[in-house]
Structure 1
Amino acid sequence: MSHLESSLYLEYLFLSLFSRKEAKKPLSVFHILTGKRTASILYVAESYQLKHFFNCFRHLEKEDYLQKIDSLLKKNQLEEASDNHVYLTPKGEQSVTTFFETHYYPSHFNGLLEGRSLKSFWRLLTFVTQVLSEMSHENVQYLPIEKEWKQQLWLKKWLQMHKKNLSKELLSQRFASEWMDLLALLEPSGATVISLKLTGYKTYGKTTKQISNLLELELDEVQVILTDALFQCIKQIKETNQFPLFFELYQESIHDISLFNQSTLATKKLMDEGKALEEVANSRGLKLSTVSEHLIELAIMDEAYPIKDLIAERTYQQIMGLFELNPTIGYYEIEEQGYQVPFYIYRLLQIERRRVNG
């Protein structure tokens, strides 16, 4: 694999996020990838159908990203439209198809809902794996991969809790069994990368660079494979009853993590109590626009959030009727037709229509 070829992975992955049918703003895509958590970016992520990529590249540098976009424009794989938006060209579409015939494409990303828990879950999972592996061989002379005292203390308590019902041998066996069952459910490349990363008795987890050399893959591709596999792990752990020990680790990893910040949660609590938006804003000393952004965030993050309950029935039916006639109708077009509704209502109904129509 040439150096030039190996440097292209993220370029083609980012290219795949654009569309021939819909112009997208590259800078908005960047904010989605790096997890800029504002109501407008969350809505764009929903609109672009890129919620799953949200916050999956939080360390991506803007300059590096824009250089890749510029390269794609020069290669005629992206084409500029108006207002700093771009389309995917037929050449770009074919390039994406061809490239990912021989490279990994992530299909399990869930960055919006699980992105913030991924790092802490993986950190805890690898630590417990190491300790139980060493414990099963009665080896106490090893250097733990986890240096933080808080994590070490939690693990000691977790082990003590389980020792009430299980011997250390049986606990290690059950944990190893969950690993084997889980790895068997993953895509082979993901199972391979995860296995190579694990540290245990007489086994040292390999670095991403070492795995890159071993598998002859670019560093970024290895990292994407690992990230995608971990999202797949979380999905399996949450949706089945096969992995009770792993589920305990997942619950611990999200213990201090909320989908929403405290301000949004405070707004939700008051709205759930039946307060009107203006009442919430006044009682909290916030601008109406700030509270309305909280509602948009809640609607995007929680697909079961009752949007219809927030809007007067007549307004709901009128604006949804306009969307039926013209799915892309803009806010100002609605105003020109004599309908006076706040912008946040328009935005919420856009989200509702997408829910209803899929």
Structure 2
Amino acid sequence: MGITYLETVVLSILNKINGERTIYSLFHLLQGKRSSQTIQDAHLYKITPYFHTYPTVTRTALEKMIDRLKQRGLVEEIAETKVILTEKGKRELEQKLGDYNLPEHLNGWKYHQVTDSFWERLTLLIQVSSNLIHHERSFIPVRNKRETHIWVKQYIRQQNEDRYKLSERLYVELISALDNEKTRPELVVLRLTGFKKIGLTTMQASEETGLEPAHYHFEFLNCLHALFDKVVGNEHTYPLLSGMIKKAERSVPLTISTDKTYRLMQRGYTLEEVAAVRNLKQSTIEDHVVEIALSIKEFNIDDYVLKEKRERILQAAYQNSAKKLKQIKEQVADASYFEIRLVLAKFGDKEWS
């Protein structure tokens, strides 16, 4: 029996983690847990595309899947709740990846706060526009959130043009934004509701396309994220679609606790002073600094790690393709684990051979 699409995703992530984190790190990744540890791991192991992409996953379901993979000899446990792929598992994974590529445009870390609200607004706007041009005012809205209804009404008013031009503009933008050789736009179109046309549910679309539910889900997200890649920062070409994404939602915010630390740092507090003021452990504040380095591009780490030491840390990481902090520290003995984590957070996106 071959492995399922979801098992392929899980094996692919486990292969990158390579037993250095527990299976629950994968659970927190797919759920999108906004903790410093999950965020750091996502960047360190280059698995940010999967952040918050399968929030319906449960601990029990994941544990059972890992047990099945162990029973079939695809993974083996090297420590409690830590597994690595066996040679058989690597072969199975390679074969599956040969059958179909994992989504290339998936970017859960960048778009997880935009996706749901955008989809709700888009589907309701399309339904309203479609019915308006057919002079149909009596229909059941595809979305029931009051805030979405209010937003769409206000957005239509803001455009200040007749229903036909608005619908045509929306159609043209959507056709262009969905046009991508590496995605399947029909997976999105199947879900759209219009005049005398009811969009399919996720399960119905899965059955219609012959894809496993998880496969359909990830390919659907892939389409939306590919659309975002085109739309975000290209407002002149896609004014309607771009307007559906709040500017405030386009940047990934810090976790609440980290944001409080960052505000104190901006006021000139040292890390020791921040820890004292907030009555938190120094290690917790250091976690916050690493998260800041991951989330804020302009954040400068020169005050925390000397440039010369930074270069030695990066060299050690490059030479060993090392993600294990202990291996790097063995080569850069005068560096603290905090300094190593901070350097990898800031510059770890560089490709290591």
Match of 2:136 in 1: 139
What are structure 1's unaligned runs of at least 5 residues? none
Residue of structure 1 aligned with 2:249, choices 246, 251, 254: 254
- TM (norm. structure 2) is 0.86
Mapping 1:58-207, distance limit 5 Å: 58-82=55-79, 84-103=81-100, 105-163=102-160, 166-185=161-180, 187-189=182-184, 191-207=185-201
Give, in whole Å, the separation in 1 of the partners of 2:131 and 2:247.
Answer: 22
**Closer, same or farther in 2 for the Cα pair 1:337/1:96, shift >3 Å?**
closer
Q: Quote how far apart the aligned CAs of 1:179 are.
A: 1.2
Give, in whole Å, the separation in 2 of the partners of 1:86 and 1:142.
Answer: 52
One-letter code aligned to 1:182: A
**Closer, same or farther in 2 for the Cα pair 1:322/1:102, shift >3 Å?**
closer
Residue of structure 2 aligned with 1:294, choices 288, 299, 303: 288
Residue of structure 2 aligned with 1:13, choices 9, 12, 22: 9
Give, in whole Å, the separation in 1 of the partners of 2:243 and 2:290.
Answer: 32
Give, in whole Å, the separation in 2 of the partners of 1:103 and 1:337.
Answer: 41
Mapping 1:322-337, distance limit 5 Å: 328=322, 330=325, 334=329
Query: What SS is found at the alignment partner of 2:113?
Result: helix
**Closer, same or farther in 2 for the Cα pair 1:127/1:65, shift >3 Å?**
same
Residue 306, structure 1, aligned to residue 300, structure 2: yes
Q: Quote how far apart the aligned CAs of 1:12 are.
A: 2.2
**Closer, same or farther in 2 for the Cα pair 1:92/1:135, shift >3 Å?**
same
Q: Quote how far apart the aligned CAs of 1:116 are.
A: 2.5
Match of 2:207 in 1: 213
Give, in whole Å, the separation in 1 of the partners of 2:7 and 2:318.
Answer: 37
Residue of structure 1 aligned with 2:221, choices 198, 219, 227: 227
Give, in whole Å, the separation in 2 of the partners of 1:192 and 1:201.
Answer: 18
Query: What SS is found at the alignment partner of 2:302?
Result: helix
**Closer, same or farther in 2 for the Cα pair 1:233/1:336, shift >3 Å?**
closer
- TM (norm. structure 1) is 0.85
Give, in whole Å, the separation in 2 of the partners of 1:105 and 1:221.
Answer: 9
Give, in whole Å, the separation in 2 of the partners of 1:254 and 1:185.
Answer: 24
One-letter code aligned to 2:13: L
Query: What SS is found at the alignment partner of 2:84?
Result: strand
Give, in whole Å, the separation in 1 of the partners of 2:319 and 2:202.
Answer: 52
For residues 57-102 of structure 1, the C-alpha deviation after alignment (integer angstroms, 9 at most, x for no partner) is 1110111112111222222222333464332233222222333444
CA contact (8 A) 1:121 1:253 kept: no
Give, in whole Å, the separation in 1 of the partners of 2:187 and 2:317.
Answer: 46
Give, in whole Å, the separation in 1 of the partners of 2:196 and 2:279.
Answer: 59
**Closer, same or farther in 2 for the Cα pair 1:253/1:130, shift >3 Å?**
farther
CA contact (8 A) 2:191 2:200 kept: yes
Match of 1:23 in 2: 19
**Closer, same or farther in 2 for the Cα pair 1:21/1:41, shift >3 Å?**
closer
Query: What SS is found at the alignment partner of 2:76?
Result: strand
Q: Quote how far apart the aligned CAs of 1:127 are.
A: 1.0
Query: What SS is found at the alignment partner of 2:114?
Result: helix
Give, in whole Å, the separation in 2 of the partners of 1:309 and 1:300.
Answer: 16
One-letter code aligned to 1:171: L
CA contact (8 A) 1:35 1:54 kept: yes
> Comparing 260-269 with 19-28, which one deviates more in the overlay?
19-28
Question: What is the CA RMSD across the aligned residues, in angstroms?
Answer: 3.1
For residues 164-216 of structure 1, the C-alpha deviation after alignment (integer angstroms, 9 at most, x for no partner) is xx222211110111111122236452x01100000111211011222222222
> Comparing 282-291 with 29-38, which one deviates more in the overlay?
282-291
Match of 1:275 in 2: 269
> Comparing 212-221 with 73-82, which one deviates more in the overlay?
73-82
Residue of structure 2 aligned with 1:244, choices 239, 243, 247: 239
CA contact (8 A) 1:117 1:253 kept: no
**Closer, same or farther in 2 for the Cα pair 1:35/1:335, shift >3 Å?**
same
**Closer, same or farther in 2 for the Cα pair 1:141/1:11, shift >3 Å?**
same
Residue of structure 2 aligned with 1:46, choices 36, 40, 43: 43
Total equivalences in the alignment: 349
